[in-house]
Amino acid sequence: MAVAELPMVDTLARPLRDLRISVTDRCQFRCTYCMPREVFGRDFVFMPRAQLLTFEELTRLARLFADLGVRKLRLTGGEPLLRRDLDKLVAMLAAVDGIQDIALTTNGALLADRAGALAAAGLRRVTVSLDSLDDAVFMALNDAGYPVARVLAAIDAAAEAGLAPVKVNMVVRRGMNEQSILPMAAHFRHSGHVLRFIEYMDVGTTNGWRLDDVVPAAEIISEIDRQWPLEPVEAAYPGEVARRYRYRDGAGEIGVIASVTQPFCRGCTRARLAADGQLYTCLFAATGHDLRGPMRAGTSDQALREILTAIWTRRTDRYSEQRTRQTRHTRHVKPKVEMSHIGG
């Protein structure tokens, strides 16, 4: 099928341009804001292998999404590098007509050994999570005893493999790591990489999120600007979620992702495919749409396209806008899919 010339849009006129593909719900870390150990402990039951979409099924869906306007793919998890032979999936996705960019979000634990193979397969970009340069703080957050040095080594390996500039994501949670903002900024100035600060979000219902724990993006930018003056940078493309700033002295660029205090729902062009084939149209969704069932039942490509079109064109999601207006006035928490399941 030829790629559609007119974009498919939802009820708020948002086109579908980005697909985040979770390849596993498993992770070695137990980050307190994502997979707290008291919930995701030894007895937690993860998806059986038979429930995971195969590489062939993922590629088929990527091709159908590309027909409907998707241009960028991002592989997520859980920790996506726990999925065996992920470079083979990257190569399959890179061959899909219409896909212009494939990226990966990872905790970095397995990246150093695999960056070369992933880049050779067609991976274009990588984002690495690192919440502090202080080992004690970082280990308290990842709750897996994983040291900062190994994440920094993974970032270096990714750059050497041709995946530079690396994006480095720091989730900022008040009372946990806000004291790491300036040290992180200092470390990545002049590095060529892009540090992005993410407001602590209420994804899922297990991380104990409170509004008081959020360090607003404006506060983060103000703190850095006092030390190293900043100036805003125009968005690189429509729907970019990070607000970009560059150092006035030419030391590089940072970004802030302010889903809580500065919602960007009106520009959201993302769909999210969970590892079990559930399609979610919002990071904060409560339920998804089953695609694995129809695929395994023999549904044709055309019928699947019609399913995808119906899902997206009826989309009304704007959770962050609604949450920002309502959070201060209610303590009611609605069930939402967990970050480790939907892939962030």
Domain extent for 258: 18-342
Residue 43: count of CB within 10 angstroms of its CB: 5
Residue 5 falls within a domain, yes or no? no
**How would you write the pLDDT of the chain (344 residues) with one tens digit per residue?**
444 456 799 999 999 999 999 999 999 999 888 888 988 998 999 999 999 999 999 999 999 999 999 999 999 999 999 999 999 999 999 999 999 999 999 999 999 999 999 999 999 999 999 999 999 999 999 999 999 999 999 999 999 999 999 999 999 999 999 999 999 999 999 999 999 999 998 765 556 667 788 999 999 999 999 999 999 999 887 778 899 999 999 999 999 998 888 877 888 999 999 999 999 998 878 889 999 999 999 999 999 999 999 999 999 987 676 665 555 444 445 565 666 667 66
Residue 10 falls within a domain, yes or no? no
Residue 9 falls within a domain, yes or no? no
**What is the value of pTM for the model shown?**
0.91
Residue 198 falls within a domain, yes or no? yes
Write phi, then psi, for 287 (nearest 5 degrees). Answer: -135, 160
Residue 8 falls within a domain, yes or no? no
Residue 151 falls within a domain, yes or no? yes
Rounded to 10 deg, the angle between the 86-94 and 111-121 helix axes is 20
- Total domain count, the chain: 1
Q: Where residue 294 sits, what CATH number does that domain have?
A: 3.20.20.70
Residue 12 falls within a domain, yes or no? no
Q: What DSSP letter does each residue of 54-103 carry, written as one string?
A: PHHHHHHHHHHHHHTT--EEEEESS-GGGSTTHHHHHHHHHTSTT--EEE
Write phi, then psi, for 135 (nearest 5 degrees). Answer: -55, -40
Question: Position of tokens 């690189």?
Answer: 236
